[in-house]
Structure 1
Amino acid sequence: MKRVMLFAAVAAISLSSCVSKKKYTELEAKNKEIQDLLNTATVKLNTCLTEKEAFAQQIDFLKKNNSDLINNMGNLTTLTTKGAENLEKSLESLKEKDLKISRLQDALTKKDSVTLALVTSLKREVGIDDPDININVEKGVVMISIADNLLFKSGSYEVSDKAKGVLAKVAKVINSKPDFECMVEGHTDNVPIKNAVLLDNWDLSVKRATSIVRVLEKELAVNPKQLIPAGRSSYVPLVENDSPANRAKNRRTRIIIMPKIDQFYDMIEKEMKNLEGK
């Protein structure tokens, strides 16, 4: 009996030992599988952590870049605003200059129109058929050139009766333009002259100019404030004084009718200063 029980005990122990070994093997295999999974998970975790750190750096970079872009946009907006303001000021200044130039051109155009009307009026009043009378526009003013043989006797500064008829027509036009001035210029040839009254051609040219001015003022009722006598002697000839015919052409009186110089040029100067100041 004892032997049977001992055998049974040994068998039980042996069976128990066999089951534990099998279970152990299974557990060991399971443990290895779990360890492999853990190792794989660890690797993945480390990879994720590395990627996370990289992403975090990238996010920081993007945040900084975004901040810089926002700041640059603000600066750009400021610059764009200032640029727009400067452009607007430049355009406004350009408009003002254009306006000044336009006013200046209008003034010149108006003056030219008045000059043209004046020439037409003079040609109608005085006539254009007389070869001793020439009416034209030079340097923006109306000029009436009258040969001396129509105005004076040779070497004289006394105005002839025939000349007074022509001067009356000129006076009519001058009187219709009270804001205009009338300069009377005496011109001679280069033949010297000297007598008890006249010292030289300067004297003759000036006295002829003042004689015509006196006729315009005293006999033809031209306002003396509009009149300017001037003598040019022989120094502004039309042609060379190399023949009797040419000397006759140079002996002349020139009547210049023009807007009052001070008023017109004051306006021009003012507009030009405004242009330069912009």
Structure 2
Amino acid sequence: MKKIILFGAVALLTLGSCVSKKEYLALEEKHKETQDLLNTATVKLNRCLADEAASAARAKELTERLADMRATNQALIETSKDMTVLTTKGATNLEKSLESLKEKDLKISRLQDALTKKDSVTLALVTSLKKEVGLNDPDIEINVEKSVVFISLSDKLLFKSGSYNITNRAKEILAKVATVINGKPDFEAMVEGHTDNVPYRQREGLIDNWDLSVKRSTSIVRALQDLGVAPSKLIAAGRSEYVPLVDNITAENRAINRRTKILIMPRIDQFYNMIEEEMKSLSKE
């Protein structure tokens, strides 16, 4: 009887140990996922902080220049008090100078507000995409390039070799992308197809890599339209082999270059670009 009890106790201890190990492995995996997310967030935060520091330095320089101009005009005003006669032309010029300072002060404030809003919208869009599409797939990249948010998808996720018909896996990913685009009524999406430099063998009515890249782009656009994205918000483009990420010297590099980029852009992006150019002009004055 004692042997039976002893055997049962050992079995229970062994079972408990197995369960604890599974829980430990699950916690360890969860910790790794959390650490990966933290590392990604830290890199993005550091980049945002660097951008913020650069913007703050530029704003400080403009503010100091504005203060100098105000001081100069104030000195002119004080000097004018000692003058016996202030000509009408001089008074007019002084008034124009003061008005110009007011306009520049207001313009700088609006520029800073617009750039801050742009950065906030971009960051929110990246966060939304990473939440919807996910971070753990090495064949999916979500990032910001020249103030435009983009998703880069490896062609092995989207198409079979030499084909422009999308896979079922691609439809799952595009459904998530469509959700984000539909949630941003003021945004539009441009789909860019990219190939490697291997000459395309003519088939399926296609001539070369230009045709293949554009045809793949239009396949993605049609899929997004079928998923509810308004066609007026979609742009199809093909870049063929001429914008490679790496040299086409190995099979691995060619696989990297075969990709589709979905750029999600605010319709007011041209306005933001105009503001940035205006700020550059102000800094040169």
**Shorter-chain TM-score above 0.5:** yes
| TM-score interval for Structure 1 and Structure 2 normalised by the shorter chain | 0.5 to 0.7
> Cα deviation per residue 1:132-154 (whole Å; 9 max; x = unaligned)?
00000010010100000000000
Structure 1: 5+ residue runs without aligned partners?
1-72
Q: Which amino acid aligns with 2:102?
A: K
Which of 171, 174, 183 does residue 164 from structure 1 map onto?
Answer: 171
SS in structure 1 of the partner of residue 171 of structure 2: helix
Q: 1:117 and 2:117 equivalent?
A: no
Q: TM-score, normalised by structure 2?
A: 0.65
Distance in 1 between the 2:106 and 2:246 partners? 44
Residue 232, structure 1, aligned to residue 239, structure 2: yes
Q: 1:178 aligns with which of 182, 185, 195?
A: 185
TM-score normalised by length of structure 1: 0.67
Superposed counterparts of 1:34-49, under 5 Å:
none
- Percent identity between the two aligned chains: 68
Question: In the superposition, relative to structure 1, how do residues 74 and 97 fare at CA in structure 2: closer, same or farther (>3 Å)?
Answer: closer
Residues 267 and 243 of structure 1: is their aligned pair in 2 closer, same or farther, counting only changes over 3 Å?
Answer: closer
| CA-based RMSD | 2.7
Q: CA deviation at 1:268?
A: 5.1
List, as ranges, runs of 4+ consecutive aligned residues in structure 1 with deviation greater than 4 Å: 80-85, 270-276
1:190 alignment counterpart: 197
Aligned residue for 1:154, secondary structure, equals coil
Pairing partner for 1:214 from 199, 215, 222: 222
* Alignment partners' CA distance in 2, 1:126 and 1:88: 57
State whether residues 104 and 268 of structure 1, in contact with CA within 8 Å, keep that contact through their aligned partners in structure 2: no
What is the aligned residue count? 202
Q: CA deviation at 1:193?
A: 0.4
Paired residue for 1:33?
none
Counterpart Cα distance in 1 of 2:156 and 2:185? 30
1:253 and 2:269 correspond: no
Post-superposition offset of 1:101: 2.5
1:265 corresponds to which residue?
Answer: 270
Q: Which amino acid aligns with 1:264?
A: D
SS in 2 for 1:229: strand
Tell whether the 8 Å contact from 1:125 to 1:170 is kept in structure 2 after alignment: yes
In structure 2, C-alpha distance between the alignment counterparts of 1:243 and 1:216, rounded to whole Å: 32
Cα distance in 1 between the residues matched to 2:134 and 2:275: 38
Structure number, greater radius of gyration: 1
| Structure 2 unmatched runs, 5+ | 1-79
2 CA distance for matches of 1:223 and 1:266?
Answer: 22
- d(CA) in 1 for partners of 2:180, 2:200: 34
1:153 maps to 2:153: no
1:242 match:
249
User: What is the one-letter code of the residue matched to 1:108?
Assistant: L
